[in-house]
Amino acid sequence: MTSLAIGSGLPDQPIPHAMILPVGDDEFEAELFCRELNLFLEATMRPRLRTIYETRIHPELVERLGREPTRREIAKAMREVEVNKLWYSLRTQTQQAMYKVAGEIIERQAPSLKQAARNLENGPGTLTLDPDLEIPRYMQALDTHNLQGGYHTEREADDLRAGAIYDRNMTVNRMGMQGALTDDSGITMSGWIESAFPDLKPKRILEMGCTVGHTLVPFKQRFPDAEVIGIDVAAPCLRYGHARAAALGADVHFSQQNAETTNFPDGSFDLVYSYILLHETSAKALPNIIRECHRLLRPGGVMMHGEAPQFDELDAYTASLRDWDITCNYEPFMDTIYELNLEEIYRDAGFAPGASFRHFIPSEHVRKNGVDPRITRNGGKFFVTGAVK
Ligand SMILES: C[S@@+](CC[C@H](N)C(=O)[O-])C[C@H]1O[C@@H](n2cnc3c(N)ncnc32)[C@H](O)[C@@H]1O
């Protein structure tokens, strides 16, 4: 069997598609080590930090403040706790180690990866790039997820490395967290759309911020008769995503566009959605994106955004856990985006008052495969908000 490890004594992991590169024994061990360390930090150590908070830090804060602490006060206090400092440091180092290992695997086989993409360039599906598209300033200003160059940086012609690293980290290093194809988000959210809006029967579907198509492909599989289009500003991710989707036999279309101002006509979609896009945009870009969703939907069409829950859905301690992402993982916008009144922004964009929704959807991956929710990205649930036009 072709596997992720070449000749390793470790259990074989089948390669999920043609764009995932095979690895040698040492690389396999290194990836396995990073994956296990990550799981240990999430599933074993995170709950211990909560115990420290509940038994020591929370009583101290209440005593000092004379009231319950806010998420920011909790985060500030926890930053002083030695084991929490260690957790922050190990989590950051594990992430850097993952990038290093994935980067070396991809670098070593760069010609094969490019060739694999060329073999798949005729589809199914299409790729439309716009070399003149301006990358939003909020993306240029920081290396999102602490990955050098973020999603968009191109180091050579036809570069697809940022997409390859993203897929490798989600699919190989976090294997099991979101399904073998990192498709739990798309399977779960598209299933919910089908059952919550049985009359929608979408014929045209747009994903904003599709990266390499992890969520896009399952939407096509759920609604095979629909035209399914994914937009993103990052060319390396779109190139990789097109090849990956073609390798999976999915007839989906990738287009390089800014979600704030797309080139599609008014009212031309039945469903416009995103998954973990909003928290990576600025508080200025977000309302523009919502207005664009409203413009693109036909009357009766549905807008849905899958995200981590807004802070008002969480207890203050759980909300404070975003502090690592905000301070160490170059995701500063989480601090404000998860605090916004989305429903007000939906109304300002033209959606009728009362037309919005919020929902927690149980993960299909957890339900079907009995996966421990602690090791899933979302604790076993997907949070969606949106509105019907
Ligand atoms: C976390 S990723 C989304 C993951 C993806 N939806 C999935 O399911 O795998 C965020 C993506 O949003 C893209 N992005 C950020 N701002 C954007 C904008 N204004 N327009 C289009 N894409 C944007 C980034 O390039 C990045 O690929």
pLDDT in tens, 93-102: 999 999 999 9
CA–centroid distance, residue 212 to ligand 1 (Å) = 9
Same domain, 229 and 310: yes
Cα distance between residue 202 and residue 387, in whole Å:
15
The total of structural domains in the chain comes to 2
Q: Could you read off the pLDDT of 216-240 as tens digits, one per residue?
A: 999 999 999 999 999 999 999 999 9
CATH code of the domain in which 229 resides: 3.40.50.150
Ligand 1 within 6 A of CB of 285: yes
| Token pair in block for residue 234 | 């990052």
Question: Which ligand 1 atom is at minimum distance from the Cα of 274?
Answer: 6
Residue 130 lies in a domain: no
If you average pLDDT over every residue of the chain, what do you get? 92
Q: What would the mean pLDDT of 185-212 be, rounded to a whole number?
A: 98
| Token pair in block for residue 264 | 């599609």
Residue reference for tokens 């999976």: 248
Same domain, 288 and 201: yes
Residue 33 lies in a domain: yes
| Token pair in block for residue 10 | 């470790």
Bigger pLDDT: 246 vs 180: 246
Same domain, 354 and 262: yes
| Domain carrying residue 180 | 163-388
HSE toward the beta carbon, residue 217, CA cutoff 13 A: 21
Q: Could you read off the pLDDT of 274-323 as tens digits, one per residue?
A: 999 999 999 999 999 999 999 999 999 999 999 999 999 999 999 999 99
Residue 4: the pLDDT is 58
pLDDT band at 12 (very low <50, low <70, confident <90, very high): low
Same domain, 362 and 305: yes
Question: Which ligand 1 atom is at minimum distance from the Cα of 166?
Answer: 9
CA–centroid distance, residue 237 to ligand 1 (Å) = 9
Q: Which of 98, 122, 146 is the last residue of a domain?
A: 122
The CA distances from residue 86 to 78, 149, 178, 249, in Å, are 11, 26, 26, 44
Q: What would the mean pLDDT of 321-326 be, rounded to a whole number?
A: 94
Same domain, 91 and 185: no
| Token pair in block for residue 136 | 């939003």
Longest pairwise C-alpha distance within the chain = 65
Question: Which ligand 1 atom is at minimum distance from the Cα of 136?
Answer: 19
pLDDT band at 372 (very low <50, low <70, confident <90, very high): confident
pLDDT band at 56 (very low <50, low <70, confident <90, very high): very high
Residue 152 lies in a domain: no
Same domain, 267 and 349: yes
CA–centroid distance, residue 231 to ligand 1 (Å) = 8
Ligand 1 within 6 A of CB of 163: no
25 has pLDDT over 90: no
Ligand 1 within 6 A of CB of 209: yes
- Any residues with CB less than 8 A from the CB of 86 and at least 6 apart, and which? none
pLDDT band at 7 (very low <50, low <70, confident <90, very high): very low
35 has pLDDT over 90: no
Measured by CA distance, the residue closest to atom 10 of ligand 1 is 277
Cα distance between residue 294 and residue 348, in whole Å:
10
pLDDT band at 262 (very low <50, low <70, confident <90, very high): very high
Same domain, 250 and 319: yes
Residue 269 lies in a domain: yes
Same domain, 108 and 234: no
The terminus-to-terminus CA distance of the chain in angstroms comes to: 49
Residue 114: the pLDDT is 94
Same domain, 82 and 179: no
Same domain, 304 and 190: yes
Q: Which of 122, 152, 181 is the last residue of a domain?
A: 122
Residue 193 lies in a domain: yes
Residue 300: the pLDDT is 98
Residue 252: the pLDDT is 98
Q: What would the mean pLDDT of 26-36 be, rounded to a whole number?
A: 88
Pocket test for ligand 1, best of 231, 233, 256 (most atoms within 8 A of CB): 233
Residue 291: the pLDDT is 98
Q: Could you read off the pLDDT of 64-93 as tens digits, one per residue?
A: 999 999 999 999 999 999 999 999 999 999
pLDDT band at 174 (very low <50, low <70, confident <90, very high): low
Same domain, 116 and 170: no
Question: Which ligand 1 atom is at minimum distance from the Cα of 234?
Answer: 25
pLDDT band at 178 (very low <50, low <70, confident <90, very high): confident
Measured by CA distance, the residue closest to atom 8 of ligand 1 is 215
What letter would DSSP give residue 23? B
Among the listed ranges 4-18, 183-197, 311-325, which one has the minimum average pLDDT value? 4-18
Ligand 1 within 6 A of CB of 184: no
Q: What would the mean pLDDT of 138-153 be, rounded to a whole number?
A: 83
Residue 18 lies in a domain: yes
The answer to whether 209 and 272 have CB atoms below 8 angstroms apart is: no
Same domain, 256 and 342: yes
Residue 259: the pLDDT is 98
Q: Could you read off the pLDDT of 189-200 as tens digits, one per residue?
A: 999 999 999 999
Residue 341 lies in a domain: yes
Cα distance between residue 273 and residue 277, in whole Å:
10
Residue 110 lies in a domain: yes
Residue 205: the pLDDT is 98
CA–centroid distance, residue 210 to ligand 1 (Å) = 5
Angle CA 258–261–264, to nearest 5: 100
Q: Which of 104, 122, 140 is the last residue of a domain?
A: 122
The answer to whether 299 and 270 have CB atoms below 8 angstroms apart is: no
